[in-house]
Every structure is written in C-alpha cells, then in structure tokens.
Chains A and B, each alone.
Chain A
C-alpha cells in the first residue's frame, strides 16, 4: 500500500518519516479542535433520552429536530419576543460593521499614503493600543459613556466598535500596497482627496474591507452588551441564549441547539470569505 502524500510538489530537504509523523500530529490535534464542535452538532439533534444516556455517546443515534422546536416554543413564550433579540443583534452588528469599515478606512488612507506632521505618532499609539485588551479600560469607559449619555442604548456597544484599533492597523498595512502612481494619476486628472479615497482607494482594498467586516462581525455577534445595556428590549441574541443555556438540566438539548445556531453564522461567513481574509493578513506584519 502506498501512502498518498498530501504535498503538492515535494520540496527538497524533506524526509518521508518526518512528513508522515507531522501529519499524524496534525490530524490528532485537528480531531481535538473539532471535538466540541462535533459534540455540539450531535447534541443539538439528540432526543432527551439520548442526552441522559449512560455511558454518554458522542454521536447521535436517532436524530430529531425536537430541540429546535422546543427552542421556538420556549422563546415564543418569553416576555420579549425572540424576533426582538434577533433584530437587536443584527442592528448592533450591522451598524457597527458599516461604521467601522468606513471610519477606519478613511483614517487608514492618509496614514498609509501621506506623510504629515503627527502621522507617525498616531500610528504608534494605535499599535500600542493593540497591546491591551478592552477589559482594562472598562471602568473609565463606562464613565465616559455615561457622561455622553450612551448607557442603556445600542450605541454604547456600537460607537466604541467604530474605533476598534486592529481594523485600522490591518487596513493601513493593506493600503500601503496600492501603487502611488495610481493615486498620482488620479490627482493629475483633477480628483480631490475625498474622491481619490472613495473611487480609487476603496475599490482597491476590497479584501481588507471584507476582513474588517468578518473581524468586527465576530466581535459584535458575540457581544451581550453586558454592563452597558440594561433594558430587556435592547438585549442581544447572545444574552438571550445565555439565559437559555444556563437555564438548567431540562433544557440541555435546547442549549446545544442554541449553540449550534450561534456558531454557525460566523463560521459560514468565514467559509465564504477565507481567501480574501488571508490575502489581507499577508500585509499584517509589524516592521522594525
């Protein structure tokens, strides 16, 4: 039996056994990574008697959609209609993504293509801000937001997302690749900076854009507005799902159904945009 090596063209300096063991290792870790996801998919379709089967099984034997139906009835009886949570999540995600892509691109263009007083400093501060996570500024952030009056509105989640620093960083790195000649020629044709930005730069950075969309989508899709949004009517799908998941034993199957729904959206989005995202990431390096 011959092993079909999954290598396109065998490069020099390769040993067969090294390759073989590396792929065994890869497959083993891939199985570990996939385990919880496989478990979730199966659990979502398990009837109640299989969820509490001993010994527990990973794979479902008699798949049923009753968990999803239970989920619908459960949510149909809740105080705030389920459609409201869906609307909230889509509103927050949609507004946040669009605003971020527009503002971050507009800011990235001068940083990438113009030399002006302060540009270096601004970029250094943005890079520095990549080095700490939002949790560390949560308290002053809350104070700032309450001064502006954004507490308990959608905007408390949306507006800070506009200024997400990773997006600006990736966009700037990507825009640096646009040939200067292209911009020069537009300038000679009489286009002003705003026109150049909108009609020349933006269409040329589509992959970067899509990457920003995905990154921000993930971030906002997973948000529950915790700490900033109090009104039940404004809360997100994620918040609603947390309530179901931590609702207890009787809803174990329903919890898995929710998990499946929640994770399938960002994963599907990634599947469709994978190559563009990787294209953007090729420019993501920090140079000395």
Chain B
C-alpha cells in the first residue's frame, strides 16, 4: 500500500530531492557524525578511537574553563534570551500602532543592526580603551572618570558590554515575524473585547493580542533561544580570543578552541553535543510554556 502511494507521489520526491540531498549532507549527517565522534578520541590524523563517555566526564569533571563557559553561556541566555524576546515583541507592538511611513522607518531602525553584517566592531571604537573612545571621552568630559578605562580588557566590564551589544543585535527575524503577526490579528476582536469588559491595553494584550499570535510567538522563541545560546562572534570580536581570564568564554568559543586550535575533535564534538541538547531542550520547554499564554 505504502509503496503505491510513494510511487504515485514520485514527482513530489523528485522536486524535493536536490534540497533534501544537500540538507542531509550538510545538516543531518554532521549532527549524527558529531554525536558519534563525541565518543571517540579523534585528532584528524589517526582513525578515531572509541573511548566511551570519557570526553563527557572530562568535560564536566576536569575542565574548569568549560564550567566557566557553561556559566557564561547560561548567564547570556538567561539575560539576553528573555530580554531580546520581550524587546522584539514590545517594540513590534508599539511600532504597530504607528502610521505606515513612521512604522516602516522605525522597523528599519530596529532591524538595521541585525542585518548590517558584522558591524559590531563599531562597538569596539565606542568602547575603545583610550581617551578617544566615545565612552571614555564622554565619561571623562562629564567628570565621572579621571582616566580612561580599558573596557574590553577588564574582567568585570566584559560581560555587561557583550550583553549590551548582543541585545543591540538581537532584533532580527523574530522581530519581523512579530510585526507581521501583529498585522494579522483580527481587528474586530478588539471591539468584541471592549464589549466583553477588557479595560486597558494590558488586558487587551494578554487576552486578545498574544493568543492571536501564538504561532509567531513560538517561531520567535525558537530563533531567539537558539541565537542567545550560540553567542560567540561578538565575544571573539570584542573581548578577544581567549578573553581576559576567560571572562567571555562561551560554549561555542570553547568549541572553536578545541575544534580549530587544539584539534581534539572528539572532545569538541562532545561540547557540540552538549550544546545541541541544551538548545533543543530549552526550545521544547519554552514552547510548552508558551502554549499557556492567554489562559
């Protein structure tokens, strides 16, 4: 029976095959390989040697830097994840009330940082360590500081700066999806809500707007969670690699360290596998929470 169905749909399979072939080679296969390699010792020269859970036990029990990386990544994710998710929604929500021209302009302002390529090096000029950096110059002129601060080389300032830059960058695809989602909310629902006793805009938001755009909320969550767990580029560009006393080490920078510098592929794959699990797990939990919106 099944075979007949497959035969009848052969054109569908033919249409999909080029994409699926590449998807399998460059996405599915690497994930499977990564899980397998994580149980081996592999240095790219010799054939991988099976060593069981050793990489994982080393990762969690012996690797101090990995613990810092986990701590930093979770801190980033817990702060930038929810904040950027809420920012995406709140700004989309406010912008949605504007006139079309102003709305287009504001959308551009908020979206521009995330599309302009790797322009976050601009922040390096702002937080530059000498008196000519905008932040230092401004604070010295105001009399807050006497001497310039080495913002990106001082442990305690690194994390807050990266979080700030990450938030600046984070209004991307999720933000656009929310703007779009808000435009699809049925306008008559608001009038109906007013009749039913919705008193202010907050109730309107919770009982009408949010439930109407649940599908977009789910999509946005996936995008925001995934990107907030994968912070690496900003950290490398701004804080250097490795950063001062590993203050900005994240799971991904740790992975890059072992994968591209030390060539311990088995160990790096174990890091990658931990990261997958973390990403997929967080996504599933958050999606479950989001189903309860508006109840």
Contact = CB atoms under 8 A, between A and B. Distances in A.
B246 interface: no
Contact of A135 (B118, B213, B255, B291): B255
A165 B15 contact: no
B259 interface: yes
B70 interface: no
Interface in A259-288: 259, 262-263, 266-267, 270-271, 274-275, 277-282, 284-288
Contacts of B227: 133
A25 B18 CA distance: 48
Given A141-B30, A274-B107, A52 B132 contact: yes
Q: How large is the interface on B (under 10, 10 to 19, 20 to 34, 35 or more residues)?
A: 35 or more
Given A26-B91, A30-B106, A162-B22, A140 B132 contact: no
B260 interface: yes
Given A26-B94, A56-B133, A271-B108, A218 B200 contact: no
Interface stretch (B60-68, B152-160, B177-185): B177-185
A221 B118 CA distance: 10
A13 B222 contact: no
Nearest to B280: A131
A221 B117 contact: yes
B57 interface: no
A106 interface: yes
Contact of B5 (A35, A116, A143, A197): A116
Interface stretch (A15-23, A64-72, A80-88, A178-186): A15-23
Interface in B197-233: 198-201, 203-204, 213-219, 222-223, 225-227, 229-230, 232
Contacts, number: 302
Nearest to B190: A11
Contact of B275 (A51, A114, A132, A282): A132
Interface in A112-143: 114, 116-117, 119, 122, 125-133, 135-141, 143
Contact of A136 (B28, B255, B260): B255
B216 A267 contact: no
B168 interface: yes
A288 to B, nearest CB: 7
Interface residues of A, number: 104
Contact of B168 (A32, A56, A285): A32
B97 interface: yes
A281 B26 contact: no
B116 A284 contact: no
A43 interface: yes
A270 B111 contact: yes
Given A54-B132, A125-B28, 18 more contacts: A6-B98, A7-B97, A13-B204, A33-B109, A34-B112, A103-B19, A110-B12, A116-B9, A133-B227, A137-B27, A138-B259, A140-B30, A255-B125, A275-B104, A278-B107, A281-B177, A284-B219, A285-B181
27 contacts: A11-B190, A13-B199, A23-B94, A25-B94, A26-B95, A34-B109, A54-B132, A107-B19, A110-B15, A111-B16, A116-B5, A117-B6, A131-B279, A131-B280, A132-B275, A133-B227, A137-B26, A138-B259, A148-B25, A159-B26, A162-B22, A165-B23, A270-B112, A285-B181, A286-B215, A286-B218, A286-B219
Interface of B: 2, 5-6, 9, 11-13, 15-16, 18-20, 22-23, 25-31, 33-34, 37, 87, 91, 94-95, 97-99, 102, 104, 106-113, 115-119, 121-123, 125-126, 131-134, 137-138, 140-141, 168, 171, 173, 176-177, 179-181, 183-184, 190-191, 193-194, 198-201, 203-204, 213-219, 222-223, 225-227, 229-230, 232, 252, 255-256, 259-260, 265, 268-269, 272, 275-276, 279-280, 283, 287, 291
Please provide the 7 A-B residue pairs with the shortest distance between their CB atoms, ordered closest to farther. Answer: A285-B215, A263-B116, A281-B180, A110-B12, A107-B19, A140-B30, A137-B30
Interface of A: 6-8, 11-15, 18, 22-23, 25-26, 29-30, 32-37, 39-40, 43, 51-56, 58, 103-104, 106-107, 109-111, 114, 116-117, 119, 122, 125-133, 135-141, 143-144, 148, 159-160, 162-163, 165-166, 168, 192-194, 197, 215, 218, 221-222, 227, 238, 242, 245, 252, 255-256, 259, 262-263, 266-267, 270-271, 274-275, 277-282, 284-288
